[in-house]
Chain A
Amino acid sequence: MSLRDYVDALDADATPGLSVEIDREKAVALAVFLIPGMTLFGIFSVGPIVYSAVGSFFSWDAFSMQQFTGLENWIRTFRDPLIINWENLRRWRFPMGALAQNLLWVVLHVPISTVLGLAMALLFADLRGRRILRSMVFLGFTVPTIVIGLVLLFIYDPQAGVFNELLRVIGMEHQVRNWTQSPQVAIYALIAGGIWVQTGFNMLLYSSALAAIDPSLIESAKIDGAGPYRRFRDIIWPLVRPVTAVVVIMGIIWVLRVFDIVYAAGGSAGGPNHAYSVLGIEVYRAAFEPPIDYGKAMVVALVQLVIVAPLAAYIARMG
């Protein structure tokens, strides 16, 4: 083969040959970069999820899988009054079951902490000393939630607690009680604590959203004749609405995973007679406290996941 032929041959297959080459190189590079991450993700995220999804259809003896039992675990869990107590739910008496109580958290905690967060962000937007105030409010979010639970115990303590003292001062002595141990009100007391924590976080998100609004828009609205309420309704609110989606969803996710506050206040039972137990508490008890019911733990954990996953996916796609 002459040199000429050789060069021609090179030319002939240059384009397709080269592109294949590049693709293969790219694929290898991609794999090299992906494998460590994907391995960890697989072992610690996908693995357990699949494992519990499969495991929820088997019977268990402590931590070892026995035989396939179909929907038995699922049916048993949903009939468990610790998860949903239909009877009490109808009469609105605690305990109503961990799922119902957890949803009550969502219904109260999320809207209230969202509104409070926005209100504080607006309040602090043009206030002197706003940085200090903002840090103070945000401080709640930086404290480990288990500590928040302990702090709540102190606040609600019947003798030494600040809250009861406050009630005595304003002359509502008959309301004084051990808030965290009174089955019918304890959950609200804990939700209040949760709101306190979350408000700081929400305020921070809203503050940055407000700071991102061009001040000339607000001034333009002033000149257009809009008063404070209309400026909020027509200009500020529409512009912070995307943040509201994040705030609400983050709140829902946070609340559905709530554990520490409840555990600190009521132990692994979730309060007297499980009066304020939540899903996380039920998973913990079923999995780690005798009598161990691994099947139930998996079902409850999956229920949590099923509620949270679509919300998380929504947030992840918003970017």
Chain B
Amino acid sequence: MGESTVRQQVMTSITMDGVSKYFDGGETVANYRLNLEVDDGEFLVILGPSGCGKTTALRLVAGLEEPSEGDIYFDDERVNRWSPSERNVAMVFQNYALYPHMSVRENIAYPLKVRGIPPDERDRRIEEVTELLHIEGQIGKRPAALSGGQRQRVALARAIVREPSVFLLDEPLSNLDAKLRQEMRSELKRLQDELGITTIYVTHNQEEAMSMADTVVVMNRGTIQQISPPEELYSRPRTEWVARFIGSPPMNLFEGERRNGSIAIGEAGTVDLESVAGVRGIDATSTSTSTSASASASLSDDLSLGVRPEDLFLSSERPTSGNALEGTVDTVEPLGEYTLVNVAVDDRLVKVKVGDADVTRGEEVWLTFDDEDAYLYDENGELVTQAPSPQPTEGR
């Protein structure tokens, strides 16, 4: 089955081409038409809420599930029917899946033993990997005698020791406490940098995703919402859903209606559409400028205006120029590092992140923001992007 070609290669690129996975005879759609490319040595994070199909996607790559439709390629080989061991993947499970009846040493040695690697080579590799992960002292213990962090390291060691071509991690840090999670996060990142193994990492924690990934894949309800580097995910959320999912607290979305070159946000005020759209190079004057899906729908009548809490400013007087929306202070949450002010705008709560708030409950305030901090989403929840034009945009 051409497994030898894969095994000899240290690194592998992965391609998912229209991969769908159905369960219960098609009743449950776990993944729908995933298209994804992972480069050699890339650290890719699949991010999404629980039940979004991210673990199924990982299991498809691992070979623990077979795709119902579509193809998976490792380099140029179609691997749909290959077993996990033929794919030479290593996986770290959420609960670590350490063999409880084996010592740490036996656990790490197991994949080597199964692959018939001679004992002295085995010993050398085990020594190397236990040193790398600082678990030399635990080698004789059973998994039950280890702490959560140590188990995590053993699971990683067992995955690394085989020198796999692909490294799959399924929420590996979710069972650790906050402090340990942060430690392991940077350690994992360092490890992946050093080893350069193609890695797919599944998590529901956006902080993990943002801090570790080269590329983030955001999934929701079995489909891919956006694939982009972490910074872009924050600066250019492609859909309303992603905008609401990324950031803490996430982006505020104002539902508005297009009215003569401006957007009316209920009773709170209007925002000049031309200047907001103009920053992004969108032609606000015509309604169907191009054939591209998002652009043609871009200037529909129902629009959402998104502004991140950190990009909103509070002002107790109506500003003379610029974008301003009127609201009433609902609650003030001082969080030390910053203060979160909840402002009722047009019957909806808007979160504003400010350094220091001298407002009180019930106070009338105006929210202001810069044109380039505003995002427009059309009625389908897609980011209104510039129509394909020769002009380049700088994003933000």
How near does chain A come to B287, taking the closest CB pair, in angstroms?
A: 53
Tell me whether B178 is interfacial, beta carbon within 8 Å.
no
Alpha-carbon separation in the docked complex, A219 to B90 (Å)? 11
Tell me whether B289 is interfacial, beta carbon within 8 Å.
no
Alpha-carbon separation in the docked complex, A216 to B100 (Å)? 12
Tell me whether A222 is interfacial, beta carbon within 8 Å.
yes
**With A216-B93, A219-B64, A220-B91: A225-B101 Cβ-Cβ less than 8 Å:** no
Residue from B63, B64, B85, B95 within 8 A of A224 (CB atoms): B85
Provide the residues of chain B in CB contact with A147, threshold 8 Å.
none
**With A225-B111, A225-B114, A226-B114: A220-B97 Cβ-Cβ less than 8 Å:** yes
The stretch among A60-68, A160-168, A230-238 that forms the contact with chain B is: A230-238
- Contact A220–B93 (Cβ < 8 Å): yes
Which interface class (under 10, 10 to 19, 20 to 34, 35 or more) fits B?
A: 20 to 34
How near does chain A come to B298, taking the closest CB pair, in angstroms?
A: 46
Within 8 A of B (CB), among A227-282: 230, 234-235, 238-239
- Contact B99–A223 (Cβ < 8 Å): no
Tell me whether A38 is interfacial, beta carbon within 8 Å.
no
CB-nearest residue of chain B to A239: B101
Provide the residues of chain A in CB contact with B110, threshold 8 Å.
221, 224, 226, 234
- Contact B95–A225 (Cβ < 8 Å): no
Provide the residues of chain B in CB contact with A222, threshold 8 Å.
64, 83-85
- Contact B97–A216 (Cβ < 8 Å): yes
Within 8 A of A (CB), among B87-111: 89-91, 93-95, 97, 99-101, 110-111
Provide the residues of chain B in CB contact with A239, threshold 8 Å.
100-101
Residue from A214, A221, A234, A238 within 8 A of B95 (CB atoms): A214
- Which applies to chain A's interface (DSSP): helix, strand, loop or mixed? helix
Alpha-carbon separation in the docked complex, A221 to B158 (Å)? 11
Alpha-carbon separation in the docked complex, A66 to B244 (Å)? 94
- Contact B97–A219 (Cβ < 8 Å): yes
Provide the residues of chain A in CB contact with B94, threshold 8 Å.
216
**With A222-B83, A223-B85, A223-B91: A230-B114 Cβ-Cβ less than 8 Å:** yes
Tell me whether B62 is interfacial, beta carbon within 8 Å.
yes
Alpha-carbon separation in the docked complex, A226 to B90 (Å)? 13
Provide the residues of chain A in CB contact with B97, threshold 8 Å.
214, 216-217, 219-220
| Residue-wise interface mask of A (184-227) relative to B, using a CB-CB cutoff of 8 A (1 in contact, 0 not) | 00000000000000000000000000000010110111111110
How near does chain A come to B286, taking the closest CB pair, in angstroms?
A: 55
CB-nearest residue of chain A to B90: A223
- Which applies to chain B's interface (DSSP): helix, strand, loop or mixed? loop
Provide the residues of chain B in CB contact with A224, threshold 8 Å.
85, 110-111, 114, 158, 162
Provide the residues of chain A in CB contact with B114, threshold 8 Å.
224-226, 230
How near does chain A come to B118, taking the closest CB pair, in angstroms?
A: 16
Alpha-carbon separation in the docked complex, A214 to B98 (Å)? 10
- Contact A225–B93 (Cβ < 8 Å): no
How near does chain A come to B197, taking the closest CB pair, in angstroms?
A: 14
Alpha-carbon separation in the docked complex, A220 to B89 (Å)? 11
How near does chain A come to B204, taking the closest CB pair, in angstroms?
A: 18
- Contact A223–B95 (Cβ < 8 Å): no
CB-nearest residue of chain B to A222: B84
CB-nearest residue of chain A to B85: A225
Provide the residues of chain B in CB contact with A219, threshold 8 Å.
64, 91, 93, 97
Residue from A214, A217, A223, A235 within 8 A of B62 (CB atoms): A223
Alpha-carbon separation in the docked complex, A226 to B89 (Å)? 13
How near does chain A come to B15, taking the closest CB pair, in angstroms?
A: 20
Tell me whether B115 is interfacial, beta carbon within 8 Å.
yes
Provide the residues of chain B in CB contact with A217, threshold 8 Å.
97, 99-100
Alpha-carbon separation in the docked complex, A302 to B249 (Å)? 77
Provide the residues of chain B in CB contact with A234, threshold 8 Å.
99, 110
CB-nearest residue of chain B to A237: B101
Provide the residues of chain A in CB contact with B89, threshold 8 Å.
223
Alpha-carbon separation in the docked complex, A219 to B100 (Å)? 14
Alpha-carbon separation in the docked complex, A222 to B97 (Å)? 12
Within 8 A of A (CB), among B136-166: 158, 162
How near does chain A come to B310, taking the closest CB pair, in angstroms?
A: 40
Alpha-carbon separation in the docked complex, A226 to B113 (Å)? 9
Binding site for B on A (CB under 8 A): 214, 216-217, 219-226, 230, 234-235, 238-239
CB<8 Å pairs between A and B, sample of 12: A219-B64, A220-B99, A222-B84, A222-B85, A223-B62, A223-B63, A223-B84, A223-B85, A224-B85, A224-B162, A226-B114, A234-B110
Given contacts A214-B95, A220-B91, A223-B90, list 7 more A-B pairs with CB under 8 A.
A219-B91, A220-B93, A223-B84, A224-B85, A226-B114, A230-B114, A238-B101
Binding site for A on B (CB under 8 A): 62-64, 83-85, 89-91, 93-95, 97, 99-101, 110-111, 114-115, 158, 162
